[in-house]
Structure 1
Amino acid sequence: MRRIVILGGGTAGTMVANKLRATETPSALQITVVDRDDEHHYQPGYLFIPFGTYTRDQVVKPRRRFLRPGIDLVLAEIEKVDADAKAVHLAGERTLEYDTLIIATGVQPRPDQTPGADGPGVHHFYDLEASLRLKEALREFPGGRLVVHITEMPIKCPVAPLEFTFLADAWFRERGTRRKVEIVYVTPLDGAFTKPVASRELGGMFGKRDIHMETDFAVESVDTENQELVSYDERRIPYDLLVSIPLNMGPDYIARSGLGDEMNLVPCNQQTMQSLAHPDVFVLGDGGTLQTSKAGSVAHFAVDIFMENWPHYLAGEPLTHSFDGHANCFIETGHGKGLLLDFNYKTQPYTGSFPLPGVGPMALLKENRANHLAKLAFRGIYWEFLLKGRPLPFTTDMYLMGKNVEDEASGTSTPDLIKGLVGLRRSH
């Protein structure tokens, strides 16, 4: 019997456990999932809690409910991984031995890593309790300067701070108080997003909404006494209400195990998610060094690639299936509309339609109602299909049919139908 231990029962860990259980019998494969508690959080829901769209009960459900029969769930803190001995040491002196290890513990917000960022009056929405506190802060805010700030990249769901900013603008407008609020978006990047084409579009949307953007801001500390963000080059940005997205880091057991970099991210192959140091260790979800978004869609596509490689891995063969960095990112833009980004390692976000060429109904790099409805509908899809490992009508590789490929140098775009036909579906 082969023993596989999955560290983390979140999105990636639950998906891969269920997919493995569906393909391997308990007598052939023992699957153990380890997490600290029995609460599975729908993390995209954190964004909506401050605005009253979702409640706690809509984003938190028992983990066990979403794991197939025949999967062991161990509730314990992880002390250390001994990759040479192929053993996971848990709190309470319990040890789990493995043949294959999947690290799916993701990243967590670490405001303690920035002086003052964990002080009074500094908010974020990257965990449930912080999101609930921000909900109260918004309702008590009489007006003034709202600053939305990103400490450093990478972060989980890199579009979420943009979404919060757009939703806050709409929330104040719908209440007739927007004229009392100045909104400032502060980022360490040189624009609104990491991809230039999307950055240009999103920056233009800020301008239309009277949202000011401060770029290239490397925060040194938060001065809570004077209510100012302070950068290393001594710029100071005052605030009345601060929403500061903290540094995102992998868990401390990664450092204790000697498996990660300075951010506790595990170096892994960009195409197979296999650890560069240990061939029987894979990293799925946000906890690795994949050079793409730390987002649920990436976890979904990466898990599919892992499953395609699984038989080859078991046979000791080369892993021939490659993840292309594909990411779908919905951006809530307020007033019942949304925008959709679709990109991978090599491409800029496209214009066009998704998932059907010329039909959509979702538009790429363009606001429409369908994108917003799809974002809200995804919560049900997440609970009932994605987590349970059921098939979804999306190809793992990004296909190009019906999309417009922009040339960054000229700023022009042309339909790339030939590439679309080639990339419409994986062929093996």
Structure 2
Amino acid sequence: MKTVLILGGGTAGTMIANKLSARLDRSDWRVIVIDKDDIHDYQPGYLFIPFGINTPEQVRRSMHTFLAEGVELVMGEVDIVEPEAKLVRLEGGREIAYDYLVIATGTTPRPDQTPGMLGDEWHRSVGEFYTFEGAIALRDALRRFDGGRVVMHITELPIKCPVAPLEFVMLADDYLRERGLRERSEIVYVTPLDGAFTKPVASRELGHHLEQRNIPVEPDFMIERVDQERKVIVSYDEREVAYDLLVTVPLNMGADFVARSGLGDELNYVPVDKHTMRSTAYDTIFALGDASNLPTSKAGSVAHFSVEIFVENFLQLAAGKPMTHSFDGHANCFVESGGGKALLLDFNYDTEPLTGTFPLPKVGPMSLLKESRANHLGKLAFRHIYWNILLPGRPMPLPAAMSMSGKNVE
């Protein structure tokens, strides 16, 4: 019997386990998932917790309840992968052999990598919303906030869900207006990029939305340190940005075991072929979701679309056939803009976000790169889709490959 071993029970890992379990011959294959605990969070929901739109209970469930019958779940921390021996060793010494390995351990905020970020004010006047605990602490900090300067800061790219910081400042604008605090508050967006977003057309459009809300952008800011005592962040070129409440996106990094195993780049992401998600170093290893170095957004939609391609390829591989399916880098991101509206971005490796309608030409009902109520409702509805369709591995009506249908090409 052969074994496909999946490290990580997040979005990509759970989807892969469920889809492979349903389609591989169980008399020939074992599907095993290793994770450090039984917690599964709907991570896009973290953003809404600080504003009271989501409660913590709405974004957290038990992981094992989403794994199909027949998938084996092992609780433990990965110590090291030995790719030559096709072996994974857990902390405590347990060893699990594999025929194929899927690394889906995601990405993690690392505030310890920036001098001064961690300290007495961490999760108080210096906050973040990329962890469950951080989102709750930021909710409490915003409740205490009585006016002043809110600074949204990005340390370095890549980060999980690169539109989330933009969503935060627009939702914060709404939140402070509702509380009567906006006139005595500033919101500043500090980024290492030269604009609001990575893609030029989207950057212009999103930058326009920030201008309308009187949210200035401080571009090309490469942080050197946080000075919690003086309440400033300092760049390598000695620019300073003062804050009363700093909301930061720390450096994102892959799992430490990836580095210990010699499988990662300088940020512990696994180098893969961008079309097959197969390791560039080992034919029996794949990396999916945020754990890989795919040159596209680290987002749930990328995990979803790339998993669809991976599963079809893996079934061919298991049957002794060549892999013929190719991932195009498709990403689909809602951008919550406040006021019950949102934008929608749809792009891939070769095509940046464009205006138009989605998923149907002219009909929509969603608008691309344009605020609409339908986009907002789509974002809210996705939590239900995530728990009940995406994670269990049920079919979704969207193709994995990006379509140009409905897009306006100049």
Q: Please give the range of the TM-score, normalised by the shorter of the 2 chains.
A: over 0.9
CA distance in 2, matches of 1:154, 1:317: 34
CA distance in 2, matches of 1:262, 1:103: 17
Which SS does the other structure have where 2:326 is aligned? coil
Which SS does the other structure have where 2:101 is aligned? strand
Deviations 1:19-44 (A, max 9, x none): 00110232221011000000101000
CA distance in 1, matches of 2:293, 2:214: 36
Question: Counterpart of 2:97?
Answer: 97
| Counterpart selection for 2:249 from 220, 240, 245 | 245
Question: How much has 1:316 moved relative to structure 2?
Answer: 4.0
Which SS does the other structure have where 2:290 is aligned? coil
Which SS does the other structure have where 1:286 is aligned? helix
Which SS does the other structure have where 1:92 is aligned? coil
CA distance in 2, matches of 1:89, 1:110: 24
CA distance in 2, matches of 1:186, 1:316: 50
CA distance in 1, matches of 2:402, 2:127: 36
Question: How much has 1:275 moved relative to structure 2?
Answer: 0.2
Question: How much has 1:223 moved relative to structure 2?
Answer: 0.6
Q: How many pairs are equivalent? A: 406
Question: How much has 1:173 moved relative to structure 2?
Answer: 1.1
Letter in 1 for 2:192: P
- Identity within the alignment, %: 61
Aligned residues of 2:359 and 2:406 also touching (Cα < 8 A): no
Work out whether 1:340 is the aligned partner of 2:348.
Answer: no
CA distance in 2, matches of 1:166, 1:204: 12
Matching of residues 222-371 of structure 1 within 5 Å: 222-371=226-375
Displacement over 6 Å in runs of 4+: none
Letter in 2 for 1:91: E
Deviations 1:107-144 (A, max 9, x none): 00000000011221311000000110000000101111
Question: Counterpart of 2:42?
Answer: 42
Letter in 1 for 2:217: M
TM-score of the two chains, using structure 1 as the length reference: 0.94
Question: How much has 1:318 moved relative to structure 2?
Answer: 3.0
Question: Counterpart of 1:390?
Answer: 394
CA distance in 1, matches of 2:23, 2:285: 20
Question: How much has 1:57 moved relative to structure 2?
Answer: 1.2
Question: How much has 1:312 moved relative to structure 2?
Answer: 2.4
Question: Counterpart of 2:60?
Answer: 60
Letter in 1 for 2:106: G
TM-score of the two chains, using structure 2 as the length reference: 0.98
Alignment gaps of 5+ in structure 1: 406-412, 414-428
Question: Counterpart of 2:408?
Answer: 404
Matching of residues 18-37 of structure 1 within 5 Å: 18-37=18-37
Alignment gaps of 5+ in structure 2: none
Deviations 1:81-103 (A, max 9, x none): 00110000001210110000000
Aligned-residue CA RMSD (Å): 0.8
Question: Counterpart of 2:384?
Answer: 380
Work out whether 1:78 is the aligned partner of 2:78.
Answer: yes
Question: Counterpart of 1:204?
Answer: 208
Which SS does the other structure have where 1:404 is aligned? coil
Question: Counterpart of 2:17?
Answer: 17
Which SS does the other structure have where 1:403 is aligned? coil
